[in-house]
Every structure is written in structure tokens, then in C-alpha cells.
């Protein structure tokens, strides 16, 4: 949850972030019904900001009983709106069986991973994370 809040509030400090079983920025406020409304939360957090917004990677298990799985979609909607990206493709079994990688645009600014049957603690997969941030 804090990743989304930090990237929304301090886009001039953070170049990117990864959210594991999190919630979109503004989740504690009245529910949003569209990606644009979720994106507005990010833009309203720092309305004067005119630079490049941070890249985002989102991970969530479908069996999470602590943070609702629907927040996975809300996060992707929020950041796809903020970054001006459209969903481009799913890649199954990435990074392993039971996972689906969801790419937006060319996959360099926004990617989501949903893990079938995984609960709140999504196992860490260092390679796709490090590659996304250009560290590997």
C-alpha cells in the first residue's frame, strides 16, 4: 500500500516501485469506479508535478484474504491511467506456472503479475523484478 502512496506523493523522488499484495493510492477514501478516477488520486497527490511519473510493477495472489484481490486491478487501472498506457498482452507461466504477467504498453513502465491460488504473501521473484528496474 505504501508503495502506491509514495509514488503518487513523491514522483520527483522515486523512479519506480513494486507493490506486493497492495492497494491503490487513495484506497481508504470513497471507492473509485474507473481507472481515470483512481488516476486522479495520483495526480491530485502532487498537482504541480510535470515530470515523468514512476514506473510500477504490481504483484498479487488470487487467494489473498487480507488485501482484496480486486485491488490488483485497481492498481493496474490507476497506473495505466497515470502513465497513459493501455493493456497490451498476457504472458502465462511467467515467471513460473500459475502466474500470469500482464503487460501495459511495451512492458517497460507497467507490469502486473497475478499468482493463481497464492495468498497474501506472494513469493519473491528477484529476476523479473531486477530486470524491470534495469538492475539485471
Report the predicted TM-score, pTM, of the whole model to 2 decimal places. Answer: 0.94
Residues 76 and 58: beta-carbon distance below 8 Å: yes
Q: What is the layout of strands, in order, in the sheet containing 16-20?
A: 16-20, 55-61, 110-115, 99-104, 87-92
Distance CA(1)–CA(19), nearest Å, equals: 7
Residues 117 and 98: beta-carbon distance below 8 Å: yes
**All cell numbers assigned to 122:** 506472494
State the Cα angle at 97 between 94 and 101, rounded to 5°. Answer: 25
Domains with residue ranges and CATH for the chain: 2-26+33-41+53-132 (3.40.50)
Residues 57 and 89: beta-carbon distance below 8 Å: no
From first to last of the 136 residues of the chain, give the pLDDT tens digit: 799 999 999 999 999 999 999 999 998 876 777 999 999 999 999 999 999 999 999 999 999 999 999 999 999 999 999 999 999 999 999 999 999 999 999 999 999 999 999 999 999 999 999 999 999 9
Residue holding cell 471507492?
31
**All cell numbers assigned to 100:** 500470469
Amino acid at each position: 500500500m505504501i508503495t502506491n502512496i509514495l509514488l503518487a506523493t513523491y514522483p520527483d523522488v522515486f523512479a519506480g516501485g513494486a507493490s506486493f499484495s497492495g492497494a491503490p493510492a487513495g484506497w481508504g477514501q470513497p471507492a473509485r469506479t474507473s481507472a481515470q478516477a483512481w488516476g486522479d488520486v495520483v495526480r491530485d497527490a502532487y498537482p504541480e508535478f510535470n515530470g515523468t511519473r514512476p514506473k510500477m510493477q504490481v504483484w498479487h495472489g488470487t487467494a489473498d484474504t487480507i488485501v482484496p484481490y480486486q485491488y490488483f486491478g485497481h492498481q493496474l487501472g490507476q497506473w495505466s491511467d497515470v502513465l497513459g498506457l493501455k493493456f497490451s498482452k498476457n504472458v502465462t507461466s511467467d515467471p513460473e506456472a500459475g502466474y500470469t504477467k500482464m503487460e501495459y504498453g511495451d512492458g517497460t513502465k507497467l507490469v502486473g503479475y497475478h499468482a493463481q491460488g497464492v495468498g497474501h504473501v506472494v513469493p519473491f521473484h528477484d529476476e523479473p523484478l531486477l530486470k524491470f528496474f534495469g538492475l539485471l
